[in-house]
Structures are given as structure tokens and as C-alpha cells.
Amino acid sequence: MEFFKGLARSNYGIIVLRGHSALRQPYNSTVDFFTSEPFNIQRHVQEISEELVVEAVLNYTGTEKHYFAITPKFVEKLEGNFPKSIVIAMECWSLKEGLKQMAEAFIKREAKAYVGWSDWVDISHVDNETTKLIRRLLVENKTLEQAVNEASPDPFFFSKQGYYPESAGNLRLSDLVKEKEATDSSLPAAILSYCYNIALAVVDSSHKKLKDLKWTTNQTDLLASSAA
């Protein structure tokens, strides 16, 4: 939970959110993102009362497990912003038609674009497609629209990758690098967290090893941080 609270203060260029999601009941009214913190009604009382966090139930094995999940309101209340950032959400329903509150919340906090999935998505498929997406953006310097359109639909659930807002389709990381350098030229090179000097925040709330999402470009290593 604490990692999520500080996420907007870390000056990341690309943020990859890798975890589970939950459709809010009743009526599947919105999509919330799991943290790895077990739910306890006596913790985060203020955040619960303001619907910044909610209880989410995981039931893949037949045994229910209850965790805190962050809501779009949580993102809107974060300290700091995501200027010139691209958020890649790997969760199921992370960009479900009619339930784009989470995407809108990140854009309100100055993110340039948000990438997500339209429905259920298999974890192996989303891992592979996210790795390919980042490579297309970083190494091949394709536009966001080109990079996302090349993603393969999930073979089991037929979920598709998409981006928000539509106006972000022409974004290239090389252009964002130039903007970043122009506005942050006084910062040390180590702090400039874009493209060839990028800090890639991998928020993994499902506890799977991150090695499959790491590689080295010919310019720099990608920095991966996991969340508790």
C-alpha cells in the first residue's frame, strides 16, 4: 500500500502495473486494482471511509482471500503527478469499455497515456504482450497506436489491448524524451527517467518473479521496482 501512495512522487517515465483487478459490486460499477496487503477492517480506516481503498476478494483456487484494492479515487488523491508518463495496466478489465475510471484518474494526474485490456486476460499472454509492447515503444520507437495495434488478443478470453485517451495515439517516447529534457534540464542525468535513461516501475501485486519483464537495451538497463 505504501508503495502505491508514493508512486506519483518517483518521476517514472513508464509505469507497469502488474497484478489482479476486481469488478466493484454491485453492478460491476468500476474496476479496482489489488494490492498485496491482506484486508483488515481496522487498517486504513480513513481511506476505507472515503472509498480510496476497498475490499477485494481473490478466489482462483476455490479459497477466498481478501485484500485491499486501490480505487480510481485513490489515484486522484495521490501526492504528486505523472507528468509525461505512460501507464501500462496489465490487469483484467483495466480498460474495459464503459469502465474507464482508472484510466481517467491517471490522465487527470497528468499521465500522457494509459494502456489496458478490455476483458479477462491470461497472465502468460499479458506478460508476453507487455514485454513486446515496451520493446516496440523503447527500441523500435513506434507510436503508441502502432505499438498497441500490434498486440495479439488473448487467445482464451479474446481480450484486446487498448489505450486512452484516443488523442495519445501519435505519441512516441523519443518525443517525450525531448520534452522531458527541455523541462528537466537542470536535473542530474540519473534522475531523468525516460527512454534511454528510463526508470521502469513494475508494480507486482501478485508476487510473481519479475525476471521475464527485464531486459537490457543497447543504451541502458531497465530499472524494476516491486511493490509490497
Average pLDDT score over the chain: 81
Q: How far from the centroid of its chain's Cα atoms is residue 179's Cα?
A: 22
Full-model pTM: 0.82
Say how far apart CA 60 and CA 39 lie, in whole Å: 17
pLDDT digits (tens, 9 = 90+) for 147-199: 999 999 999 999 999 999 999 999 998 888 777 767 665 443 333 333 333 33
**Residue entry with cell 477466498:** 64
What are 216's three cell numbers? Answer: 537490457
Range list of H helices, 27-122: 45-49, 72-76, 101-108
Say how far apart CA 27 and CA 207 lie, in whole Å: 29
